[in-house]
């Protein structure tokens, strides 16, 4: 599954550019920032060039009006979408307004529960990209319902999956059922891995889908023991 590097909040445009460069060198073919300023967005675009998809996760800081202005100010950097630009995140009317007037894609849904809430979101025209999180939406079955609905309504699915455990493995399997898969990988160096380093991005920017029974890998009991909370 093609992966995108989901960067932590960094702040300084210079350091953002440095991390984007490193992520591309590691093989990633797409980048998501967690930033809220235009210099941050433009610093990333400048260093990755025009061909690499760039996403901007804002984590809900703005009013609708502010988000529209931010989208317009970012337009030349061509982000694929702004993620959760407004507070509260369930204000689908405001999100739809941002999408319509801001001129960019809008993504949301990492905390949305069940197909019911995604239906409200999509019917409102709030998102170009829906982001069900398999650990929160209601599991594998509910995720599949959201994906079917999105396909029906012409909304793209870009799951929320900055996880290290079963949620990441389940997301890989779910994306393997689709042809537009792009898996979110938390961009950091883990001290240990539950899956023996197998749920990682390779040099071509892909993550392998586990092929064993169930979710596909047995967790490393040594790692679980070592990090047990007393
Ligand atoms: Mg997010």
Instruction: Report the separation in Å between the CA atom of 14 and the middle of ligand 1, taken as the mean of its atom positions.
Output: 22
pLDDT at 92 over 90: yes
Q: What is the pLDDT of residue 230?
A: 82
pLDDT, tens digit (0-9, with 9 covering 90-100), for 148-172: 999 999 999 999 999 999 999 999 9
Band the pLDDT of 180: cuts 50, 70, 90.
Answer: confident
Residue 5 in tokens: 């590097």
Residue 23 in tokens: 């992520």
Band the pLDDT of 119: cuts 50, 70, 90.
Answer: very high
Catalytically annotated residue among 129, 160, 173, 206 = 160
Helices (H), the chain: 13-25, 38-48, 64-74, 92-102, 114-123, 139-153, 166-175, 221-226
Instruction: Report the separation in Å between the CA atom of 169 and the middle of ligand 1, taken as the mean of its atom positions.
Output: 18
Q: What is the pLDDT of residue 25?
A: 97
Instruction: Report the separation in Å between the CA atom of 155 and the middle of ligand 1, taken as the mean of its atom positions.
Output: 17
Mean pLDDT across 95-106: 98
- Residues contacting 8, CB < 8 A, separation 6+: 34, 187, 188
- The pLDDT > 70 percentage for the chain reads 100
Question: How large is the C-alpha radius of gyration of the chain?
Answer: 18
CA count, 13 A, side-chain hemisphere, 122:
23
What CATH fold (topology level) applies to the domain 3-226?
Answer: TIM Barrel (3.20.20)
Enter the pTM of the model: 0.96
With beta carbons less than 8 A apart as the criterion, state whether 57 and 84 touch: yes
Q: What is the pLDDT of residue 215?
A: 96
Q: What is the pLDDT of residue 132?
A: 98
Gap between the Cα atoms of 131 and 224, Å rounded: 29
For the chain, report the end-to-end CA distance as a whole number of angstroms. Answer: 36
Instruction: Report the separation in Å between the CA atom of 34 and the middle of ligand 1, taken as the mean of its atom positions.
Output: 8
List, as one string, the DSSP characters of 82-147. EES-BSSTT-HHHHHHHHHHH-S-EEE-TT--HHHHHHHHHHTT--SEE---TTTTTHHHHHHHHH
Instruction: Judge whether 160 counts as a catalytic residue.
Output: yes
Instruction: Report the separation in Å between the CA atom of 63 and the middle of ligand 1, taken as the mean of its atom positions.
Output: 17
pLDDT, tens digit (0-9, with 9 covering 90-100), for 14-70: 999 999 999 999 999 999 999 999 999 999 999 999 999 999 999 999 999 999 999
Mean pLDDT across 173-177: 97
Gap between the Cα atoms of 147 and 72, Å rounded: 29
Which residues, by Cβ under 5 Å, contact ligand 1, an ion?
Answer: 57, 110
Q: What is the pLDDT of residue 48?
A: 98
Q: What is the mean pLDDT of the chain?
A: 97
Gap between the Cα atoms of 205 and 202, Å rounded: 5
CA neighbor of 27 nearest in space, from 208, 210, 161, 163: 208
Band the pLDDT of 12: cuts 50, 70, 90.
Answer: very high
DSSP state of 210: P
Q: What are phi and psi of 107, to 5 degrees?
A: -120, 145
Instruction: Report the separation in Å between the CA atom of 183 and the middle of ligand 1, taken as the mean of its atom positions.
Output: 13
Instruction: Report the separation in Å between the CA atom of 33 and the middle of ligand 1, taken as the mean of its atom positions.
Output: 10
């Amino acid at each position: 599954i093609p992966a995108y590097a989901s960067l932590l909040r960094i702040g300084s445009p210079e350091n953002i550019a440095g991390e984007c460069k490193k992520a591309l060198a590691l093989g990633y073919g797409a980048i998501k920032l967690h930033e809220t300023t235009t210099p941050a967005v433009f610093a990333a675009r400048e260093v990755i060039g025009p061909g690499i998809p760039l996403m901007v996760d804002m984590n809900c800081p703005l009013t609708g009006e502010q988000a529209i202005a931010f989208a317009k100010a970012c337009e030349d950097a061509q982000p694929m979408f702004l993620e959760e630009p407004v507070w509260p995140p369930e204000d689908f009317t405001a999100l739809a307004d941002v999408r319509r007037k801001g001129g960019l894609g809008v993504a949301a849904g990492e905390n949305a529960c069940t197909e019911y809430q995604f239906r409200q979101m999509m019917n409102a025209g709030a998102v170009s990209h829906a982001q069900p999180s398999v650990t929160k939406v209601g599991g594998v079955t509910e995720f599949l319902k959201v994906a079917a609905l999105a396909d029906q309504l012409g909304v793209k699915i870009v799951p929320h999956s900055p996880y290290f455990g079963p949620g990441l493995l389940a997301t890989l399997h779910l994306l393997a059922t689709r042809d537009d898969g792009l898996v979110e990988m938390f961009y950091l160096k883990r001290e240990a891995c539950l899956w023996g380093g197998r749920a990682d991005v390779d040099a071509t920017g892909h993550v392998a889908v586990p092929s064993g029974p169930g979710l596909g890998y047995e967790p490393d009991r040594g790692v679980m023991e070592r990090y047990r909370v007393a």
